[in-house]
Chains A and B, each alone.
Chain A
Amino acid sequence: MCHLEHAGISDQGRVRYRNEDFIAHEVPTDSEVRRRQGCLFVVADGVGGSGAGNVASREATEALVRAYYESRRPPERALRDAFARANMHVYDLGLRGGKFRMETTMVALALVGDCAFIAHVGDSRLYRVRHAGHAEPLTRDHSEVAELVRMQILTPENARHHPRRHIITRSVGSDPVLRVAQRVEPLQAGDAFVLCTDGLWEPVSDPEIASAVAGNSAEEACRRLTELGLARQSNDNLSVQVIKVLQVNKENAMATANNLSWWRRLFVKAGQRPDEDS
């Protein structure tokens, strides 16, 4: 169990008819559940204006939270299974809905003991602010431009204006087989996590995210980031969750460690980050 401070804002922006983003968090009151499954934070961004993006993001997020806490498996596996459940749920809804496609991006952060379990699909991001002034992205976008940057065809600066920048290569609900990117990170007291949709990270640079988070409460950080994002780009929905880790309870460290597979433990202990696509 760790001590947290968290806040979240999901803003429609000034132009869109509806908010297709959805954010959720679950901080269990039951200490046993909290010890085993920890706290879960989710941000989702529904895809496709003519489809039902708002329904997709809400349904996926709710299915994910439900499935995660129903699971009796270790957090990492539980998170992956929950993504699969959410995906099938949204995929089925999409098939039933006829012409409306149902798709959403989703990034989830589970804080259990002294570990952060991260899973994501699409181009919603998770940043960690550990050292002042530096927001470190812990997710890699599943988008065409991110792939072009990785292939060294495109520079990150040019990616911001690329005509194909809004094409994502994976989403929850688009395909019955979902590939989720997952990783595990050791937690430290003082860590801050920022989950956000492209409505925030597109207009706001990484250093700006870091400086908004540093020295402010989670609530204040969310407010500042939202203001900054909307002032620069008001035509998209914008969602952000900020989680500050106040204290990591070392007593439960073993509980977490036991939840990890042996080779995972090797990585986490060595301070390395396995970034796995499964």
Chain B
Amino acid sequence: MEYEPGQQIGPYEIMDRLGTGGMSNVYRARDPEHDRDVVLKFPHEEIMGDVATHERFSREVKIGKLLHHPNIQQLYELATFRGSEYLVLEYVPGESMRRFLRGRSHAPADFALARTMGLQIARALGYAHEHHVAHRDLKPENIIVTPDGQAKVMDFGIAFLKGARRVTWGPLSSQVGTPDYMAPEQIQGGRGDARTDIYALGMILYEQVAGHLPYSGDNALAVMNQHVTAKPPPLHQFRRDVPPALEETIMKAIRRKPEDRWPTMATLIDALEHPESVDVDSLRREREQEPGDLPHVGRLAGRFQMPSSPATLAVLCAVVLLIVLVVLASHFAAPARH
């Protein structure tokens, strides 16, 4: 279902379409009663049609309405129009953090800015975690930066709706999101919890400081494989002047195992707020003690490996030599019979 500007949806008047995502159509609308702009989000019908998904959605919405935080896009209500449900949300002017970061990509990373932005997002998430809500799909696309520099986190708790629509890899496909901020436990099929958000926030901060993410690859599979198996290069490799406390704070947030990360958002906030309290040396030691890249768990693992020991190599060489000799011998021996 698509709506035109000027159309009346319940008490709201559609102003313009903000976008069509993988899970919903999004519009800006006018709320004359409260004299404010709002965002209307219409989840696609085929997603909401599933009973279990719908139940979970209603539950998340109920919790979402309880969240009031300056760094979280406010959810006002869940309303119905002609039988289809839609969300009414706070309208936040500004640009997505993705665009915000891109716009600054030429300037050297501003550590103070990374810290304040990180703190705002961390406080929003910490507040949500206290209410037992994890975001599970945190990425710069889901964060709006307002003109006065406030970060607002969107799409709380409804990340699970994303899996419900099929998309394909391909040159024309733009709907396949990146797994760049997915925690290893999520890639491995876990539901994810507060520590999953800590990982995602760590990735966002890493990107902000280093200018790029720790992992990259030709396709999503290569990236996901690295999240699960690789050890991220420390930030000072890219930025020599990164404050050690900030570096270790970020590196601890993106450890592979959830139990190695900051245990709660509150501890991460504390580390960002009071860098002098961060025990840089022990964190670095802990990080460096972590085993390096895990063995590649690719398709070829354990099957077509080159022989590693000298003994096997020697035997192989001998066999090849023998074959060559036999072939040569028969080649030269044959004419002699005539």
Residues of A at under 8 Å CB distance from B?
13-17, 47-50, 94, 101, 103, 122, 144, 147-148, 150-155, 157-159, 161-171, 174-175, 198, 233-236
Contact = CB atoms under 8 A, between A and B. Distances in A.
Contacts of B221: 144, 147-148, 151
B167 to A, nearest CB: 6
Given A153-B225, A174-B171, A174-B173, A163 B50 contact: no
Contact of A144 (B51, B220, B297, B298): B220
B148 interface: no
B170 interface: yes
Q: How large is the interface on B (under 10, 10 to 19, 20 to 34, 35 or more residues)?
A: 35 or more
A151 B298 contact: yes
B45 interface: yes
A26 B84 CA distance: 41
Closest 4 CB pairs of A and B: A158-B189, A15-B49, A174-B170, A235-B50
Nearest to A102: B172
Interface of B: 20, 44-51, 53, 137, 159-160, 162-173, 175-176, 179, 182, 186-191, 220-221, 224-225, 228, 297-299, 301
Given A14-B49, A49-B46, A147-B221, A174 B169 contact: yes
A163 B297 contact: no
Contact of B228 (A16, A153, A162, A236): A153
| B46, B162, B186, B224, most chain A CB atoms within 10 A | B46
A15 B189 contact: no
A162 B224 contact: no
A191 B45 CA distance: 39
Contacts of B220: 144, 164, 167
Contacts of B166: 47-48, 166-168, 198
Nearest to A91: B172
Contact of A151 (B53, B163, B299): B299
A152 B299 CA distance: 8
B168 A171 contact: yes
Contacts of A158: 188-190
A101 to B, nearest CB: 6
A101 B171 CA distance: 11
Given A15-B50, A164-B179, A234-B51, A174 B172 contact: yes
| A15, A94, A157, most chain B CB atoms within 10 A | A15
A14 B297 CA distance: 41
Contacts of B298: 151
B53 A235 contact: yes
A107 B216 CA distance: 33
A141 to B, nearest CB: 12
A101 B165 CA distance: 14
Contacts of B48: 15
